[in-house]
Amino acid sequence: MPDLADSIESLEQLSAVWRVMVLDRDSHADVSDLPGVAVRWADCRFAFWNCVTLTEQGAGPGLLEQRLGEAAEIMRSKERPGFLWVFEDLLDDEARAGLAGAADRAGLAFAFPGTGMAAELPALPEPAHPDLTFVRVTTDEQLRAYADINSRAYGFPLEDRRDGLGRSALWKERVHAYLGVRGDGTPVSCAATVEAEGRLFVLLVATHPEWERRGYGEAVTRKALYEGARATGLTRATLHATAAGAPVYPRIGFRPNSPMRFFALNG
């Protein structure tokens, strides 16, 4: 049986972190908490900052159908595309089994899977990698490099992630964002952590496709966790992993706990 507390924690971390991230993009962003639906929508080109999620625990098929319809209507009212995040373990067994059909009837198409993860961090050693120097993001140029690594890793247009991060004081000051830089000065990987309700949340980890399978993503994630923990004293960390990134995190101590599905508007 799934541990409902893990799914609730994962949902609450999404709600808390995304509120900060989307308000960083636009002080008039939609951060509504409606019955059964949380909206965290920056309406920017970076689709991950345009988020709707379902919040009720134990929702059955009828309630799921209603909430999916409401979520889809919210998404249709926005200028920019985004995603509905569904934490599967918050649904009852019947609703979970019928999720795909209910989403289709609401005009939503499955986009990709995800996994919530959490870790109790041990006393972390200072991270190191023989190829890399770790550089904290403090300038607009470094922030653009961070955005561009993410874009290339996940196949997004460069301007989309630049719109999601560009000129952000939050990312240069409050977020523990790091680049992994090779000896010739080339940034090749990136990872960040931010404090959220007594936890460190891991954000936007990526490795440039030309430099994969060298341990660069794991190394820079360890650095972001190390510096975030050192700055805050926090020992619990959470994240939401894509299928591509999921294999990295158990090596750092993260445990999968909350399967997720992402949906976009159909057509």
Task: Output the domain CATH number for residue 155.
Answer: 3.40.630.30
Please, what is the end-to-end C-alpha distance for the chain in angstroms?
Answer: 36
Q: pLDDT tens, 130-186?
A: 999 999 999 999 999 999 999 999 999 999 999 999 999 999 999 999 999 999 999
> By percentage, how much of the chain surpasses pLDDT 70?
99
Q: For residue 126, what are its two tokens?
A: 């200072």
Q: Is residue 158 part of a domain?
A: yes
How far is residue 163 CA from its own chain's centroid? Answer: 16
Q: Are 45 and 15 part of one and the same domain? A: yes
Structural domain including 217 reads 132-234
Q: Are 55 and 144 part of one and the same domain? A: no
Q: Are 148 and 106 part of one and the same domain? A: no
Q: Are 101 and 144 part of one and the same domain? A: no
Identify which of 217, 12, 14, 234 has the alpha carbon closest to the alpha carbon of residue 119.
Answer: 234
| pLDDT mean across residues, the chain | 96
Q: Is residue 251 part of a domain?
A: no
Q: Are 136 and 109 part of one and the same domain? A: no
pLDDT band at 125 (very low <50, low <70, confident <90, very high): confident
Helix ranges, the chain (H): 4-25, 61-76, 93-97, 99-105, 140-154, 158-165, 169-173, 216-232
Q: Are 160 and 111 part of one and the same domain? A: no
User: How far is residue 137 from each of residues 26, 78, 119, measured CA to CA in Å?
Assistant: 21, 31, 24
How far is residue 50 CA from its own chain's centroid? Answer: 11
- Burial letters for 122-150: b for 16+ Cβ neighbours within 10 Å, e otherwise? eebeebebeebebbbbeeeebbbbbbbbb
Q: Are 70 and 168 part of one and the same domain? A: no
